[in-house]
Chain A
Amino acid sequence: MKIVVAIKQVPDRDAQVRIAANGKWIDEADLQWAMNEPDAYALEEALLLKEKNSGEVIVVSAGPERVGSTIREALAKGADRAIHILCDDLNGQDALGVARLLAAAVKPENPDLVLSGLQSEDVGLGQTGVIVAELLGLPHATMILHVEKTDSGLKVKRELEEGWFQTIELPTPAVLTMQSGGNKLRYATLMGIKRAKTKELRTLSAAELGVEVAPTVVLAQIAAPKKQRSTQMMPGTAKEAAIALVEKLKTEAHVL
């Protein structure tokens, strides 16, 4: 089974993000970078499928030079080879632009399955995987927790709202976007890192892929949200506090 996994390098979840001077993106200096967590689950699912069905796992990632460390991490965890699409201004692209880069790199590989995380921890659009499917003309499914190979293609478990699930069958080749938590992530090992040094890492440029496009949706500006996280204590008697809490949960936190 030939599986391509699209991964993204994002700022570490706990990083203190500052807005850049031009107000258009975050200041990337001094940031710690890590593999986007849903992508890590996608990679893990791919590795599990490879272990079960034999085959090859190829990781693809677009971004500047620093993305190399995350790619090597994927190789250390067990991916067989990697493609780095060198792109210095990934944030200037919209989801369609990024998907075009990925699709162009993936297409010649003719994979049986393309996996990516459901959404990225920085921008969180959750669309790139679906658009890649569309560009490659492949069927897709999203919010997948578990993938199984069948004689006719794939059987996948999809998450629905309110604690419901659904099984979907689809043919290969296909594209799936993976939800976090469907499997258990493996840790990078010393042996993995040492072996990764000998694995193929091919670098392509956007120009080589023949993809140049002006974004149709532009991120005009970023700002700090008006509310900061701090504990709001509900005052009054038990009854008053309870009513106030329910109101907050409904209108402010949107969890009811």
Chain B
Amino acid sequence: MNILLVLEESGGKIKGVSWEALAAAQRLGPRESITAVVIGAQTETLAAQAAARPVGKVIRVEHPLLAQYTADGFAYALETLLQNQNGTKYVVFPHTYQVRDYAPALACRMSQVLIGDVVGIEEGPRFVRQLMQGRLTGSYRPSGDGPCFVSVQAGAFRPDETAAGSNSSAGRAPASITIFTPTIDAAQIRTRPGDPFRASEQTADLGSAQRIVSVGRGIKEAQNLSLVQELATALGAELAASRPICDNGWLPMERQVGSSGQTVAPKLYLAVGISGAIQHLVGMKGSQCIVAINKDPDAPIFEVADYGIVGDLFEVVPALTEAVKAAKQ
């Protein structure tokens, strides 16, 4: 029985979510049955990183045409690999944008369906995923023959605690590495991807920000904004504000969140010193996770917050900045 674990890289390093996928794979079978796969044009260092982890073996799927990610390239490469490998029962991926782009096509070629964005694995195995935007969960079971394709949600599985250098710390030699070169024709790759770019620095693209730190009247004066800016920087978040702050000119109008400003729905929305008047709420209530910091325990913002701290923001915000920086290490 073989479990194929497809790792993903970014900037020459294997992404953390791949190790979370490893943790998921470890639920499905013993270490020896897990084969880690790295894909690219030059995968030597990637393979070495993978070999240090508790996997059975590592396969380098290498071809010049795989230098840049394309759905056609990756799907085809893995398809030929799977045809080459016998007895693959599970193919496990981290649920990344890239995987969402090619894994369903790959599964389809093998007459399978990807069970994507899995948050838990139960007896059976049954794969648990969220439905109705998190209001319900569903457990899926694969039926039929052929490999079962699974991708796991970021943060759903804690990566193996004995992370880096685990093979060596367990007294094992690194896993064996083999190279697999699929025959890919340039004509098979139908899309031409450009280089990644960021939205321009001048405009505040709150709409696409994943994290937002928003400041309200509680900040009292413009010079106190630097406190909140530090927190935003530490979190890698965009700075936003409720209307009065923008009206006073302390932040530009385009950073306003609310009924007369922008509507945002980031993964994390941190409301600092914002009371939660309806004009502001309608602009951010769709955020996935809302955190509120306010000295008034009855502030309406706490009604919509997932997490809250009642306290003086001039104490809480610096403490939070410190805690965030510490966690990043």
Direct chain A–B contact by Cβ atoms under 8 Å: yes
Q: Compute how far the CA of A160 lies from the CA of B114 in the bound complex, rounded to whole angstroms.
A: 21
Residue B155 at the chain A interface, CB threshold 8 Å: yes
Which among B138, B144, B209, B288 has the greatest number of chain A C-beta atoms within 10 A?
B138
A143, B115: Cβ atoms under 8 Å? no
Residue of B nearest to A119 (CB): B100
A215, B132: Cβ atoms under 8 Å? no
B307, A234: Cβ atoms under 8 Å? yes
B316, A96: Cβ atoms under 8 Å? no
Which among A17, A238, A255 has the greatest number of chain B C-beta atoms within 10 A?
A255
B208, A17: Cβ atoms under 8 Å? no
- Give A108-150 interface residues, CB cut-off 8 Å to B: 121-127, 130-131, 133-135, 139-143
Q: Per-residue 0/1 for B140-183: is the Cβ within 8 Å of any A Cβ (1 yes, 0 no)?
A: 11111010000001111000000000000000000000000000
Residue of B nearest to A156 (CB): B191
Residue of B nearest to A181 (CB): B207
Which one, A135, A142, A168, A217, contacts B108 given CB within 8 A?
A135
Q: Per-residue 0/1 for A94-112: is the Cβ within 8 Å of any B Cβ (1 yes, 0 no)?
A: 1110010000000000000
How near does chain A come to B183, taking the closest CB pair, in angstroms?
Answer: 20
Which one, B116, B198, B302, B309, contacts A241 given CB within 8 A?
B309
B143, A142: Cβ atoms under 8 Å? no
- Give A157-187 interface residues, CB cut-off 8 Å to B: 158-171, 174, 181
B108, A124: Cβ atoms under 8 Å? no
Q: Within 8 Å CB of B191, what residues of A?
A: 139-141, 168-170
Q: Within 8 Å CB of A11, what residues of B?
A: 132
Residue B67 at the chain A interface, CB threshold 8 Å: no
Q: Within 8 Å CB of B136, what residues of A?
A: 17, 19, 26, 222-225
Contacts A133-B105, A160-B196, A169-B191; is A124 near B133 (CB within 8 Å)?
Answer: yes
How near does chain B come to A90, taking the closest CB pair, in angstroms?
Answer: 14
How near does chain A come to B144, taking the closest CB pair, in angstroms?
Answer: 5
Q: Within 8 Å CB of B154, what residues of A?
A: 254
Contacts A26-B132, A143-B97, A232-B307; is A220 near B291 (CB within 8 Å)?
Answer: no
Which one, B109, B129, B303, contacts A134 given CB within 8 A?
B109
Which size bracket describes the interface of B in this complex?
35 or more
Q: Per-residue 0/1 for B178-208: is the Cβ within 8 Å of any A Cβ (1 yes, 0 no)?
A: 0000000000001111111111000001011
Which among B114, B141, B308 has the greatest number of chain A C-beta atoms within 10 A?
B114
Q: Within 8 Å CB of A207, what residues of B?
A: none
B311, A219: Cβ atoms under 8 Å? no
- Give A28-66 interface residues, CB cut-off 8 Å to B: none
Which one, A121, A139, A216, A248, contacts B142 given CB within 8 A?
A216
Q: Compute how far the CA of A248 lies from the CA of B60 in the bound complex, rounded to whole angstroms.
A: 37
- Give A240-255 interface residues, CB cut-off 8 Å to B: 241-243, 245-251, 253-255
Q: Within 8 Å CB of A170, what residues of B?
A: 190-192
Q: Compute how far the CA of A222 lies from the CA of B136 in the bound complex, rounded to whole angstroms.
A: 7
Q: Compute how far the CA of A161 lies from the CA of B69 in the bound complex, rounded to whole angstroms.
A: 14
Q: Compute how far the CA of A24 lies from the CA of B315 in the bound complex, rounded to whole angstroms.
A: 49
B117, A124: Cβ atoms under 8 Å? yes
Residue A221 at the chain B interface, CB threshold 8 Å: yes
A165, B196: Cβ atoms under 8 Å? yes
Contacts A139-B72, A168-B192, A218-B140; is A242 near B208 (CB within 8 Å)?
Answer: no
Q: Within 8 Å CB of B34, what residues of A?
A: none
Binding site for B on A (CB under 8 A): 11, 13, 17, 19, 26, 94-96, 99, 121-127, 130-131, 133-135, 139-143, 158-171, 174, 181, 214-225, 229, 231-234, 238-239, 241-243, 245-251, 253-256
In the complex, 20 of the A-B residue pairs with CB atoms within 8 angstroms, ordered by the A residue number, are A94-B113, A122-B132, A124-B133, A125-B114, A126-B104, A127-B113, A130-B71, A130-B108, A134-B105, A140-B191, A160-B196, A219-B138, A220-B138, A223-B138, A232-B308, A233-B309, A239-B323, A245-B320, A255-B268, A256-B268
Binding site for A on B (CB under 8 A): 71-72, 96-97, 100-102, 104-105, 107-109, 111-117, 126, 129-144, 146, 153-156, 190-199, 205, 207-211, 235-236, 267-268, 288-289, 291-292, 302-303, 305-312, 315-316, 319-320, 322-324, 326-327
Beyond the given A126-B116, A143-B97, A253-B268, could you list 17 further A-B residue pairs with CB under 8 A, ordered by the A residue number? Answer: A121-B133, A124-B117, A125-B117, A130-B104, A141-B191, A143-B100, A160-B196, A168-B192, A215-B143, A217-B113, A219-B139, A220-B139, A229-B306, A232-B308, A238-B311, A239-B323, A243-B319
